[in-house]
A and B are shown apart, each in its own frame.
Chain A
Amino acid sequence: EAQVTQNPRYLITVTGKKLTVTCSQNMNHEYMSWYRQDPGLGLRQIYYSMNVEVTDKGDVPEGYKVSRKEKRNFPLILESPSPNQTSLYFCASSREAAKNSPLHFGNGTRLTVT
């Protein structure tokens, strides 16, 4: 089954404790992206990747890192999480640049930073 898999689904952590949210897609998609979704603010892009070893900042990249060492994986790293990073996070992928093909989303990771 074609899908985008995120782990974990739920995560509660404390300020400053490094964490990684994994994202993997099995569709051989070139484009991958991370979003955060907050009430009243909608979906905001954190980082995106056009292909392996190519990443770029989205609208809200501060406090986040990503890497794209393999085509299928695009982990999101929070080196020193803070409470304002409490949010619902979505990973998404598409066959090519998102403007030309639909995004396939994972089921989300709900992160709470205390």
Chain B
Amino acid sequence: TQLLEQSPQFLSIQEGENLTVYCNSSSVFSSLQWYRQEPGEGPVLLVTVVTGGEVKKLKRLTFQFGDARKDSSLHITAAQPGDTGLYLCAGAESGAGSYQLTFGKGTKLSVIP
């Protein structure tokens, strides 16, 4: 199983600040997904990136897939308390016959009003 390292593990910021979280691996992924998990609920998909260098925007959230498809970042502009949650990246191994996602351990974000 390929490893996905997420950083930072914990992040506490004031409302209105910007932040970036990272998802890194030494392996190549055919695609990478970002999920957000709120307390008491299951993870919910935010975005999937599939092309090296791809950038996707979801309102104040910007997702980028690295050129070599080994890493990804999530940037949040002007964070709001509603952004609080656990952010998980999940990668699909590159190559035929791979059917599983590998999850990072997550970044726990707290946005303080």
Do A and B originate from a single complex? Answer: yes
Work out how many contacts link A and B, with CB atoms closer than 8 A: 58
A residues at B contact (CB < 8 Å): 4, 31, 35, 40-45, 48, 50, 58-59, 90, 92, 97-100, 102-108
**B-side interface size class:** 20 to 34
CB contact under 8 A between A100 and B92, given known A42-B103, A42-B106: yes
Minimum-distance CB pairs A-B, first 6? A105-B42, A99-B92, A42-B105, A102-B45, A97-B99, A43-B103
Q: Is the pair B101, A103 in contact by a Cβ cutoff of 8 Å?
A: yes
Taken together as a complex, chains A and B put the C-alpha atoms of A26 and B40 apart, in Å, by 21
List residues of chain A with CB within 8 A of the CB of B90: 103
> Of the candidates B40, B43, B105, which one forms a contact with A105 in the assembled complex, judged by CB atoms under 8 Å apart?
B43
Judging by beta carbons under 8 Å apart, are B31 and A99 in contact?
A: yes
Say whether A107 contacts B40, CB under 8 Å: yes
Q: Which residues of B contact A (CB under 8 A)?
A: 1, 30-31, 33, 35, 40-45, 48, 88, 90, 92-93, 98-101, 103-106
Contact partner of B100 (CB less than 8 A), chosen from A42, A58, A107, A108, is A58
A residues in contact with B106, CB < 8 Å:
42
A50 to B99, CA, bound (A): 9
Judging by beta carbons under 8 Å apart, are B42 and A59 in contact? no
For the complex, give the distance between the alpha carbons of A21 and B98 in Å.
27
* Listed residue (A50, A90, A98) with the most chain B CB atoms within 10 angstroms of its CB: A98
Nearest neighbor of B45 in chain A, beta-carbon distance:
A102
A103: chain B residues at CB < 8 Å are 33, 35, 43, 45, 90, 101
Give the residues in chain B near A92, CB-CB below 8 Å: 42
- Given pairs A50-B99, A105-B42, 18 additional interface contacts (CB within 8 A): A31-B99, A35-B103, A41-B105, A42-B88, A42-B103, A42-B104, A42-B105, A42-B106, A45-B100, A59-B1, A90-B43, A92-B42, A100-B92, A102-B48, A103-B45, A104-B45, A107-B40, A107-B41
> For A90, what are the chain B residues with a Cβ–Cβ distance below 8 Å?
42-43
Contact status of A98 and B105, CB under 8 A, knowing A105-B43, A107-B42: no
